[in-house]
Chains A and B, each alone.
Chain A
Amino acid sequence: MSKGKLYLLLGALVALAYPFTPLASDYVLHVAVLVMIYMVLAMGLNIVPGFCGLLDLGFVGFYGIGAYTAGLLTVHYGLSFWAIVPLAALNGALWGVLLGAPTLRLTGDYFAIVTFGFSELVVLFLTNEIWLTRGPLGLPGIDPISIDLSWLSSLLNPAWDWYYEFDGETPYYLLAIVLVLGVYWMMGRLEDSRLGRAWFALREDPLAAASCGVNILLYKVIAFGISAAIGATAGSFFARWTLFLSPDMFKFWESFLVLCMVVLGGLANIQGALVGAIILVALGEVLRTVLPALGLPAETRFLAYGLIMILIMRFKPKGFFPAIATSGLSNPVIVRLRKRLAEQYGAKG
């Protein structure tokens, strides 16, 4: 096992154990869940501007679609969270493809404007289609996540009832860890695959990528679809966690915040996106107490985010952890190749 994997495992174990230690507090757990939701969002967004080099300002639209899909399915049909996650992800991917297929021919700023418009459209839809979403009144009464195994327990022993409803922050916290690890693991695999390399190729040089046989539009749409599905997954978790949704949770600023996380951590760097999420959510919490103390409204925190973006662009344009050409260094095939090259040509990295 490599050193990086060992650290990751240790970190995950410590994180899993935390809520059962005397240090645990509801506030910390709540913020930690928030951090992890943003981690998933940042990793999902990272595919589009990071791997493919396309500026996406509308990511929160997919987050909103996922959240409302989950919220409405819960309120109206009482569907289980475990059935809702794939449905929300598919719905997100569907809208990602529907938006991406016609617009991904656009390049640079034009594409960014379309995505921005899309996320505004989602907010307008959620606000105005009152028959479906209750509009600005919001969508209350969403059930928390539950694990229902009563069908199994009643088969085994009629006296048992294996039914557990999530209560307090701890189960959400644990589930969020699983979600983050799952998405992280998936991202690592996508990055080191034919699909990931095709994305990098079209980011680096579209013409050369096409000359290598990469169907540029198709691979952009795939990236957009996967990214949207991850955003929607995060949204469905969010819906069943906050238990209340309203359209103003999915304003443009959220997109900007997630984009900040990705850029801060270093575009295309998966771990960087995680660090970016921690830093910016923590900063948000600090500002939440500091700003009112200074007599400023809470919305001024976006000034701080804007300032951070400007400073990064000026002093660290590649983020704090720039992605390097790793070529899937931990992949056994590459490890073997490195060893062979070292033997063949003498010790050389």
Chain B
Amino acid sequence: MEAATQAAMQAALDPTTNAGAAPAPNKAPGAAAAESAGEPILEVRGVSKRFGGLLALGDVDYTVPRGRIMGLIGPNGAGKTTMFNCITGVYKPSVGDILFRRAPGAAPVRTNGFKPEKMTALGIARTFQNIRLFSDLTVLDNVRIGRHARTRQIFLGAVLRTRGQKREEERIVEDSMRWLDFVGLGKHALAPASGLAYGHQRRLEIARALATEPGLLLLDEPAAGMNPQETQMLDELIHRILDQGITVVLIEHDMKLVMHICDKLVVLDHGIKIADGTPEEIRRDPRVVEAYLGRGAADA
């Protein structure tokens, strides 16, 4: 409930709402404004991904509601990370479309075949299942690289140190520090990234993703390997990310966290979507119980 009102408020406050509120071509003008808040930020339509003879994803359909937290769950090997890779342009779906609509009411962008850097520029950021930091660089540099998509200086600015370049570099440091403080790592800004504690490394990866100014943030098992306190802090962090107007999708095995935090769940098993709905609905769904615990458990 809370998240829903938040989303509505954000939609109302967001300056892009008005700018991008041109009605979608196939809708009545009056209905568009009312519906735009409820328009999904991401639509996955009949996506399949085949690796040779292996069907990693089979005809998966779902939508990601704007301004909410969605969970993508399923047993190991269900195709969750493959799904993320399709959304972020690492893989191209064999069949199907992925539509991304950054601002409410904006025309959706069909993203098939876009490269990862293009997806980042469009506004989709991610973290990785096994942490992928730039470990030889400092914490600050990791986040500064996250600013790459939103900054422009290349060769001449760097060599000549033009005024524009200096100002941009200063802004990059400021913005990066803001995101580091946001995840609580400001103190470690100038330490090497490889020296951070495990939980901090996960947070740094989130800060780096946030620095790209995403509309949609994909977190791949953010709580993996965390102790209960760290998970608690992560829970709180994800809610603060939501408060920034960023939609969150997470893959997670920590069911307590998933059930508590998510507004919507999509369950994959062997590459097929077997259920979606609220955590309550998913908890009672016999197919989900079967996928996780086996056939006998569902009957019992």
Contacts and interface: CB of A to CB of B under 8 A. Distances in A.
Interface of A: 186, 189-190, 193-198, 200-201, 204-205, 207-216, 222, 226, 323-325, 327, 331, 333-334, 337-338, 341, 344-345, 348-349
Please list the 10 inter-chain residue pairs (A to B) with the smallest Cβ-Cβ separation, ordered nearest first: A213-B149, A193-B158, A210-B116, A204-B134, A213-B120, A208-B132, A327-B138, A201-B145, A213-B148, A325-B138
B136 A211 contact: no
Interface in B108-125: 115-117, 120-121, 125
Residue among B128, B137, B168 facing the most chain A CB atoms (10 A cut-off): B137
Interface stretch (B8-16, B183-191, B255-263): B183-191
Interface in B230-257: none
Interface of A (DSSP majority class): helix
A158 to B, nearest CB: 39
A333 B169 contact: yes
A201 B173 contact: no
Contacts, number: 133
Nearest to A213: B149
B141 interface: yes
A349 B189 CA distance: 10
The interface centre, meaning the residue of B90, B116, B168 with most chain A CB atoms within 10 A of its CB, is: B116
A331 B140 CA distance: 14
B187 A345 contact: yes
B153 A193 contact: yes
Given A194-B153, A222-B154, A213 B190 contact: no
Given A205-B134, A212-B148, A334-B190, 18 more contacts: A197-B137, A197-B145, A200-B141, A201-B148, A204-B135, A207-B116, A208-B128, A208-B132, A209-B134, A211-B126, A212-B117, A212-B146, A213-B212, A216-B117, A226-B155, A325-B141, A325-B193, A327-B137
B90 A214 contact: no
B148 A198 contact: yes
Contacts of A323: 136
Contacts of A338: 190
Given A194-B148, A213-B148, A222-B154, A208 B141 contact: no
Contact of A213 (B117, B135, B141): B117
Contact of B117 (A194, A215, A327, A337): A215
B216 to A, nearest CB: 13
Interface of B: 88, 90, 115-117, 120-121, 125-126, 128, 132-138, 140-141, 144-146, 148-151, 153-155, 157-159, 161, 165, 168-170, 172-173, 177, 186-187, 189-190, 192-193, 208-209, 211-212
Nearest to A216: B117
A338 B126 CA distance: 29
Contacts of A195: 153-155, 158
Nearest to B213: A213
B72 to A, nearest CB: 18
A341 B187 contact: yes
A190 B161 CA distance: 10
Contacts of B212: 212-213
Given A337-B189, A341-B187, A208 B158 contact: no
Contacts of B117: 210-216
B192 to A, nearest CB: 5
A197 B193 CA distance: 14
Contact of B136 (A204, A222, A345, A349): A204
Contacts of B153: 193-195
